[in-house]
Structure 1
Amino acid sequence: MDTIASLFSFITTPVSWIIVQFHKLYGAIFGPDTGWAWGLSIVSLVVVIRICLIPLFVKQIKSMRNMQALQPKMKAIQERYKNDRQRQSEEMMKLYKDTGTNPLSSCLPILAQSPFFFALYHVLSKIASGDTIGVLNQELVNSAREAHIFGAPIAAKFMDSEEKVAALSASLTDVRVVTAIMIVLMSASQFYTQRQLMQKNVDLTVKTPYMQQQKMLMYIFPLIFAVTGINFPVGVLVYWLTTNVWTMGQQMYVINQNPTPGSKAQDNYLQRLLKSVSSHGEVRGRRRRSVVQAIVAKGADRNDNERKFFAGLAKAGFAAQADGTVIKSDTVTADAEAGSAARRQQPKRQSKAQRQSGGTHQTGEAKPSLEKQQDTPPKPAGKSSPATPRQAKSGQRKGSQRPKHPSSKK
């Protein structure tokens, strides 16, 4: 670990400078040699680094959304070449290249933090040995060696010997208890962050290599932290626990406010939005209006969550507009009520006998004959009207009869 940390020694000077600047601030409040002053300086270092990494986090979110949009195509490739793994991998790589998607973008924040992580490890290792590094002079190094966080020096490790811990004015039991608790919290926070991402912000119905990768990371990263954490100084554990908590809060914000389309989180978000529209009669907030505007623009390409949201709006008597607003629409409600009323008032289906007779209603009353309804003049006696059709005998076809052939008998 010391060899790896030495590779990032070029960044130890800016890291140590940031820590010293925050130590001046917190030292004036809590005292320069306290664990609060040095511990909060490390926490503030994390905050500065994570603020600088926000553009990478945004890129990570966009890459994950692209991966979600590609999942149907990835599923089709997987089913088409399910017996040819090599061809399947080639088609996947081609799809990534054509769409400009990088499946490893989800690891960008962690990779970008690695130089700062190892630089801090290198700084704390020098503090433990009493050597100056970066902008830390001997006075600051001695002050940091005396700083304890819940009885554990910030430069002590879980695997340190009792003699080394005693040289830092601490007991081995205190160091191991504090480091063990911090390792557990660090691993648990990492696992929870990845788990809530998998359960709420992705579509688990589609099995793709990307989903398998995310599921694998959910178990691998906490295991890595648990195994390697015993070799980290207390100050590095503070750093990594803080960045995990930051990531967890950042992920919760994204899930609640900007969920992935088609995910469970989107369904919960749209239901909250529907409840707000029903209560206030409008879409409150520019960001919410942009969400409604994007859903309206999708047209027939809306997912199930978005169609459910629009159905809820119609049921509440609202219609979404292209600019993201909603209007009170009586037509939507009237159409819905008319449709339900029409379904309730459909006439009963008549039997075959009723259709043939044509004279019986559902109530059993006979239809009045057409001849009876018309006021026709009386026929002259002894003469028959040539226009009046002959009454059909039993077994004969009703209606006009075909004329007989002249040679036939009358």
Structure 2
Amino acid sequence: MDNRNLLLAVVLSGLLILGWDVGMRYFYPDAALSGQASSPTATKSAAAAQGAPAAQAGSAAAGTGSIGTDGAARKVDLKTALSGGNRVAIDTPRLAGSINLVGARIDDIVLKDYRETVKKDSGPVRLFAPEGTPNQYFAEFGFIAGGVRQPSNTLWQADGAKLTPSTPVTLSRTDANGITYRIRFAVDANYMITASQSVTNASANAAIVQPFALIKRTDKTATIDQFASHSGPVGVFGDTLWDPHSYKELAELGSDKGEGKPDWLGFVDQYWLAALIPGDGKGNVSVDDAGFRSLGKDLFRTDLLYSATTIPAGGSLTQETRLFAGAKESETLDRYEESGITRFGLAISWGWFWFFEKPILWLLRHLNSLVGNFGVAIILLTVIIRGLMFPVAQKGFASMAAMKAVQPKMKEIQERFADDKQRQQQEIMKLYKEEKVNPLSGCLPMLIQIPVFFALYKVLVLAIDMRHKPFIGWIHDLSAPDPAHILNLFGMLPYQVPAGFLAIGPLAVLLGITMWLTFRLNPSAMDPVQQQMFAIMPWILMFVMAPFAAGLLLYWVTSNLLTVAQQSYLYSRHPQLKAANAAAAANAKKT
């Protein structure tokens, strides 16, 4: 059996498995994170609903030194939640929203630079929404005093009406014992909000206080966790990336966390991130708890509970926590990492081949800025990479040609020493040495290319730069599946094509045809079963890959066309290989 065909079969099988994983994104499309949210003013714990004292209700049976478990929230719509007053507006070049003075929650964040859909009037992407709605997703900052969590329905006072990069806002409240709690919010021009939590003890006694921060969300609006792009809990603990679980897995475990002190932790989607960064983001802050937990009913929370501090009478305490709430732009994340947040750029699921992927993304961005069309940039990028890898492919073809040239001599040796396998192997190795042929040199160039092309594939999956970018004609969003469907003649027939792999568009058809052409040019397999597999594989992959993002299909079609051109050229340079393939095909038909 031809080694190249066997290796190609293994690679294609891997692509089929990977393709199914990514293709399932069609059944679980990226959440728009739009629309509805809930009223935090109505949020109460179960204990409070049963008439327990306010302090006990805020603790939610947590016990000393625990944030506890939140009670169920009343469901309301976004408009109602945001129209109840008691809010401080947030307005930056890239963020808009508000801080809820009830509970000191940042539960209203939209991203100005990104639209919900490709429609220009669709409005910005909503990342955070108040508690109790289908899209609930928010951050909360507070204190545990004497082992009791302050009630989440506490009303804070603000010293300003709007949080901007130039105007920080401080929330404050004083309890019955004379202890004053403050949270000073500041925001930069991108996606980072800094919360400085401070306590001033004006009482006659010492107080034990623990600042805390949390992010709570539903997974109903989360993107699907896939091989190429993680969606779910994520963080860096002890300088090590921690992202082993999907939401489903975390729900089964109940809770989990990384080893070591937290550098940062939060929740990640394909394009968005919400993360808490304790202190300076270098894992040198003392914490009692930093991890993730399932709250049931599709709700999840990440907790950051600082160690308890005894504040003497007349003393004070200050603890700083940063909140990132925004888009996973690699350049922005890298700048925050350069400013001191440990490995913050790993919020993007680069994986093992990050050293290939980052230069590829850099080149893709520059090509897009040069030509002004992201689809054309993908085509040019594919051409450039295939051009750079051409010498490697040429070497592999030359090795294959040399192997084909010695096939008759190898067959003669195998027949002559059929009963002496050891002597047979010795003579074959002698033949390789005399003819200067390396049987592995045809496979190694292919293995070298795999990481490069996989890196290109991951860049197209991870890059937010491709989101909502048009190509030509009917393709208005390269990050979404091809909207045209062959099965209803592009909408001319009066029925809808079912979602999934039946929704075959022109790009998927081109993918099948071009893949069939590449298989036709490959050396024919002697094994009839293998021949049949190669015959049907292009059409199977056409259906499996139909739900993929149009940008990925465009890349694969371009790559296949370049493969056809490359192989045609190399066959012309090595006619003995083409003749051997033709002879193999003829023999296969006879059998």
What TM-score do you get using the length of structure 2 for normalisation?
0.31
Length-normalised TM-score, structure 1 = 0.43
Larger Rg: 1
Name the structure with the higher helix share.
Answer: 1
